[in-house]
A and B are shown apart, each in its own frame.
Chain A
């Protein structure tokens, strides 16, 4: 029998697909009747989504334009 604490502890591994079938089934069963855990799972996902939305991985234009100069500077000390 899984508890709320078990679900919180295993949620990361569950989402990563790293739990065996039986553990997944038990967690699903717990979540089915536990509104707190369903809310926790939903808000955990929202936290991850918000984090991903903070990404600004585009290299700024000024870096792209100056990158060769940066490399030359690195090589020429």
Chain B
């Protein structure tokens, strides 16, 4: 039995851990297959580039094989693999020439002393129309490039890849509460930018 993301059988986990630490090729192959989609998802969500995601996936498998002797907790193997993928994706981002992140807005400045919103906030054009919706998605893809890497990463893992707050915490080393707070501010920021981009009161 491979150590899939939801494996919950302690004996099987221990057995698989021993096999992996002994560099059992069949066990490693099973492990990789069990986590393939999730690892590719992390790589693609962070790099937003299919070829780079493939490179990250290969680098992840290579690093995992080389470092199997570091495995000491079979139950946390998914987080371990995910962390390797995330680190490789981060390295790819660092080497990719990106425009510098734009300063994020001070969300607090959008409210007066009494906590009331300054100016109007309007609903957006109904995006039922497929073309309009596709246009909004393209705009969002452009706007997320303005985010600092760490903020963009949180957004990608949570809102695109749909990892849980606990999973993101395990991958990034941030406390769950910190992940939630930062992620919410990123979402508010993207909403502000998207509203401004759409040209509606925000």
Residues of A within 8 A of B (CB): 3-6, 8-9, 11-13, 16, 35-37, 39-40, 42-44, 46-48, 50-57, 59-60, 63-64, 67-68, 70-71, 73-75, 77
Residues on B with beta carbons closer than 8 Å to the beta carbon of A13: 180, 184
10 closest A-B pairs by beta carbon, nearest first, are: A3-B115, A12-B184, A74-B61, A51-B159, A5-B115, A4-B117, A5-B111, A36-B121, A74-B62, A39-B121
Question: Which A residue sits closest to B38, measured CB to CB?
Answer: A57
Q: Name the segment of B8-16, B26-34, B73-81, B90-98 touching the other chain.
A: B26-34
A16–chain B nearest beta-carbon distance, Å: 7
Given contacts A9-B184, A54-B160, 8 further A-B contacts (CB under 8 A): A8-B111, A39-B121, A39-B122, A46-B127, A47-B191, A48-B159, A50-B127, A50-B136
Q: Which residues of A contact B117 (CB under 8 A)?
A: 4-5, 8, 36-37, 40
B-side binding surface: helix, strand, loop or mixed?
helix
Binding site for A on B (CB under 8 A): 25, 28-29, 32-33, 36-37, 40-41, 44-45, 50, 54, 57-58, 61-62, 64-65, 107-108, 110-111, 114-117, 120-124, 127, 133, 136-137, 140-141, 155, 159-162, 180, 183-184, 187-188, 190-191, 194-195, 202
Q: Closest CB of chain A to B104's CB: distance in Å?
A: 14
Give the shortest distance, in Å, between B190 (CB) and chain A (any CB).
5
Q: Are A74 and B58 in touch, CB under 8 angstroms?
A: yes
A73 with B58: CB separation less than 8 A: yes
